[in-house]
Each structure stands twice: as structure tokens, then as C-alpha cells.
Chains A and B, each alone.
Chain A
Amino acid sequence: MPVELKQIGIIAQKEFWDRIRNRWVLAVTAIFVFFALVIAYFGASQEGVVGFSSIELTIASLVSLAIYLVPLIALILGYDAIVGERERGSLDLLLALPVTRLELLLGKYVGLSAALIFSIGAGFGLVGLFLSYRIDPGALGQYAGFMLSTILMGMAFLSLSFLISVFATNKTIASGTAIALWFFYVLVYDLILLGVLVVTEGQLGGDFFPFLLLLNPADIFRILNVFSLEQVKTLYGLATVFPESLANPWLLSGSILLWIAGPLGLAYWKFR
């Protein structure tokens, strides 16, 4: 059945304004601004200095922040998108209207993505504006690249949250799964890979290691940013195990786009 953009727009608009009205966007923007400023200022304290350092080191600090915060926020944002409507009992009312399930899913995804993009844009954008007085304006392009990749990572985790929302039978299961997924991708996944490499002294999985990193959108985001910052690349051990050939920004961006389309496609397959 053909998709009507108007229907997607109406649903997206409601989802977006809901997040503006309930101050979700404001709260998340404030969180980004606060943590980004703190991290940008104290990021180099391990080296015995405080203050706003080079843009590359600042971005490296912000990457670490974004890897923890953005997936969590995106997963929390979307986990109840469908299961919440179903549990509340409003799903039947919506689907009895001239709306297809694909339009409903996309409308919600677009609306929540817009809220996420707005928060990331406003939060990190304000910090970027603040930093622009202290750093070489030419380096702001790198900062914009960081923001763009943060948005893509957020959208990938939002897409995963939709997958959870469609498969979960109730909101409790959905929220538990969302938190578990965050733990897995942000805290556990790299540890497992590293553990396997150390235990087997690189015998097992060494060749696949770079590809295994592509199975985690948070790692793709990290690689994308680390490899685009010359000064930072050498600081990260990652650069020694990840081949230069796979670190192509287009390839990595393409991978993260697949992480957006894949779970969302799977969610639609189940939802329809």
C-alpha cells in the first residue's frame, strides 16, 4: 500500500511536540550542555591540566560522554513507542484511521528522531558555540562532524528501541530489554571482545575483530570520530587493531545507516 507522507508528518509532528511540551527536549538539552561543558573543561585533568584544550581532545572527551549518554537517552525515548500505545489501548484507535502500520511506525520514528536531533543539536551546538571563541574556527568542521555522527548513533539506538517496542509484550519487558541492550552495547560488548583477544592471545577472532566492532553502533561512532582526529588517533589503542581501510568515513557512515534501517525494517516486518 502506498505511503502517504502527510500521515507520517501528522504523527511525527505530534510526537515531536509531545516531547517539547513535556520538557523532555529541554531536560536532555540541559544534560548535554552541562556534561559537555564539564567534560570539555576537565577532560584533560588526567594529564594534570584543566581548561578548554584543543578541539581534538575536547571532541575525544565528548565522544566518551556521547557513547554513554546518547544510546541510553535514545533507548529510553523509543522503547514504549509501540508497546506503550498497545498497552494503553490507543493503538486500535489509531489503526482504525486511514493510516497504515508503516506510516505509524515511520511517523513515530521521525518525530522522536526530530526530538533527539533537536536535543543533540541544541545541547552540543551551544557548547560548540561557547568553544568557538576559544578555538580555531576552522576546527569547527570537525566538531560539526562529531555532532552529525552523534545524531546518527542516536538514531541507530532509537531504531533498536523501536525493535524492542514492537517485540515486547508489555512496557516493563520493553524497558528492561532497553536497559539490558544499553549495558550490552555500551559496557559489555567491548569487554567481551577484548577478553576473548587477551585469553586467546589473539588466536581467536583476531581477523574478525574489526568486523565485530561494526556490529556495535557505539563502536562505529567511536571509530568514526577517533579516525577523523589525527591527534587523538595515536592516543587510542583502537587505531592499532582497526585497519585503515575499514576506517573510511563513508563506509562507517554507511554502516551506521544500516543500523538505522535494519532494526526499523525488522520492526516493521514484525509490526505489520
Chain B
Amino acid sequence: MPTGAAGLKENIIEISQVSKQFGRIAAVNHASLNIHKGEIFSLIGHNGAGKSTLFKMMLGLLQPDKGIIRIQGKAVNGKQFRQVRRQIGYLPENVVFYDHLSGIETLRFLGALKGADLNSCGALLDQVGLLEAARRPVRGYSKGMRQRLGFAQALLGEPEMLLLDEPTTGLDPAGIREFYQFLQQLKQRGVTIVLSSHNLAQIQEQVDRIALMKLGDILTVGSVQDLREQLDLALQFQVFLHTSSAGEPLRHALMNLSGCKPRFDGKMVSISCDRKQKMALLATLVNTGGVRDIHIQEPSLEDLFLGYVDETAPAQNQTARS
């Protein structure tokens, strides 16, 4: 990731104290966030958390009521808005095109408006696997093909940042894998990627940092590991024993270990263990003997998300906003 002279990461998107109100509902509430150049950043949250509103404000489609958003130091809706928008590739959630236009015509139209090199349209379609369908009307495209076309149009003009709202909707598992591989390649080229997704299992291995949103507030920002440490959720151990009888000495040993909740099931023991007790538990398992194998599972992004959501907010607001 590019860093400045003092070793600080270069901010490409700066969101400071941004608020947006729809009627009495605060869609985004004093949000502040810096997104670094060349990182893959994800906004996660329930429906109605404010992700799409924040996305639209980053694109200049919505004007914040308060605060300011800067892209590469320029106000997103300022005098240099054309320059700013040429640097951004946007894939909206449920992307819709003109059904009568073909894939290549769609790219040429949008590319002309973006000031992109129109000779690159064919190559972009090739990149997303749509070259053969390039001259077919979009009305005949499947959902996955439309999503690929959406991704191709986001890449028009070689943007420095991509804003992708639910980018894997409609893609099959192979398509999703290809998509994330491609994102990693773009990242290597220094492209900044901001994406929102409900599929937390998919993104947890792909993103550098996450902003967790709830009811218009940014609850926390950091890497998955940062979030794990902040929330201090228990680790899940699965211990496989040689024999069922080996369970009894282990039960006794674990009784003396605080922060561990074992559940015995024949030759398998599931233990929920506080993070700080990890090494003590490992030592206990080794010393007790009879252990054939151990699997340690860190809390998933979904666990973290649910942990934060449960920890932070009154449930009644959530229902009102969804």
C-alpha cells in the first residue's frame, strides 16, 4: 500500500463528519472515515445501515447535509467534479442497462460520457468473459452476465478507485472466485477498491479493512484481526481424542481453567475459550494427553458483525429502519 514521506498511508477518500437525513431518519450520522490508496475496503452492515447512502455521497449522487467528502483532496461535487468522477468506477447494486443496446454499445456509450478510450471496450469485455456476447443485446444476458458487464463499465477509463455495491450478486461460485482474483490484481496495480457486501464469508479473506455500520453510525473501522482483538470474542477449539475415556481427565483439567467452556461429545470436545487463555488451554491439552488433533477457529467476520450489532444498539431502532 502506498505510503507518504512519513510512512503514513496516503488517503484517497476522506470522509469527515458527514451526515445525511431523510425526513426524521438519520441515514448517515457524523461519519468520518479515511480510505487509503491501494487498499480493499469494505462497508458492512444490515440493510438500512447507511452503506448505500454513504456510497452515493462518495459518488456525489447525494449531497451530505453536513460534513465533506474529498476524493484525492478534491471535493466530490466541487468545480473539479468531472476530473474526480473520471477517477471513479462505480458498480451499483442491481445494475441496469439499456436492454436494446449490445454489450459493446453499452460500453461505448458509457465510455464516451466518461471520456474513456473507446478502443479498450473490446478488451474489457474480454477481461470479464463477455467477448463472445459483445454484439448481443443486453436483454438476452443472464443476471451474471449483466453483473460482468457492470464490472466492465466500472473499469472504463482505468479508474484509480472502484466503488462496488454488492458486486458478486448473480455470479456463480467460479465467477465469484475470478472476480476476487481480479480485484487482487487491481489492488496490485494500486487501484483502491471500496465494496459493500452482505456476504461476509466471501469478503473476510479479501479485504484489508472494514467499516462496520449500524443505523447510520460507523461503529468501528479496522482489519478483521483488529476487529477480533477489539471485540475479544472467544476462540472455538475442537479437540479430537484418541478414546472416549480420555475425556474424563481432560474434564478435570479444564475445571481448573477459567474462561473455557467445554462440551463433550464422545471422542470430540468443543471448547469455547477466551482469547487470553489460548496458550493456557493449549498447555492443558498437551499435558493431559490423549489428544489426537486440535482445530482452532477464530471468530468469523459474521461472528464479529453479530457481536458488534448485539453489543451496541437498541433492537427496536433496527426494526423501525429496515
Contact = CB atoms under 8 A, between A and B. Distances in A.
A93 B95 contact: yes
A92 B53 CA distance: 12
Contact of B97 (A18, A22, A90, A96): A90
B100 A96 contact: no
Given A10-B112, A98-B81, A98-B113, A93 B90 contact: yes
In this complex, which of A11, A14, A92, A99 has the most chain B Cβ atoms within 10 angstroms of its Cβ?
A92
A38 interface: no
In this complex, which of A22, A98, A99 has the most chain B Cβ atoms within 10 angstroms of its Cβ?
A98
B82 A98 contact: yes
A83 B83 CA distance: 28
A22 B113 contact: no
A40 B56 CA distance: 55
Interface string B83-114: 10110101010111110100000000110111
B195 interface: no
10 contacts: A7-B113, A10-B109, A10-B112, A90-B96, A90-B97, A93-B90, A94-B113, A96-B60, A96-B61, A96-B92
Given A4-B82, A18-B98, 4 more contacts: A18-B100, A90-B96, A92-B61, A93-B95
Interface in B228-271: none
B92 A92 contact: yes
A199 interface: no
A88 B85 CA distance: 22
B165 to A, nearest CB: 10
A21 B100 contact: yes
Interface in B38-89: 56, 59-61, 79, 81-83, 85-86, 88
Nearest 4 CB-CB pairings of A with B: A98-B82, A89-B96, A96-B90, A98-B85
B115 interface: yes
A93 B82 contact: no
Contacts of A4: 82
Sort chain B's interface into a size bin: 20 to 34
B113 A96 contact: no
Contacts of B92: 89, 92-93, 96
B94 A89 contact: yes
Interface string A15-44: 000100110000000000000000000000
A146 B281 CA distance: 94
B113 A11 contact: yes
Contacts of A97: 85, 110, 113-114
Contacts of A1: 79, 81
B56 A92 contact: yes
Contacts of B81: 1, 98
B97 A98 contact: no
Nearest to B163: A96
A50 interface: no
Nearest to B150: A93
A246 interface: no
A42 to B, nearest CB: 38
B110 A93 contact: yes
Contact of B96 (A7, A93, A95): A93
Given A92-B56, A93-B90, A99 B96 contact: no
In this complex, which of A10, A93, A94, A96 has the most chain B Cβ atoms within 10 angstroms of its Cβ?
A96
Nearest to A21: B100
A130 to B, nearest CB: 33
B85 A96 contact: yes
B113 A99 contact: yes
B86 A98 contact: yes
Contact of B100 (A22, A88, A99): A22
Nearest to B95: A93
A96 B96 contact: no
Nearest to A7: B113
Nearest to B90: A96
Contacts of A88: 96
Contacts of A22: 100
B135 to A, nearest CB: 14
A89 B165 CA distance: 14
B137 to A, nearest CB: 10
B96 A14 contact: no
Contacts of B86: 98
B197 to A, nearest CB: 18
Nearest to B156: A97
Interface in A72-122: 88-90, 92-99
Contacts of B79: 1
Interface string B221-232: 000000000000
Contacts of B115: 98
Nearest to A9: B112
In this complex, which of A7, A10, A90, A97 has the most chain B Cβ atoms within 10 angstroms of its Cβ?
A97
A175 B81 CA distance: 34
Contacts of A96: 59-61, 85, 88, 90, 92
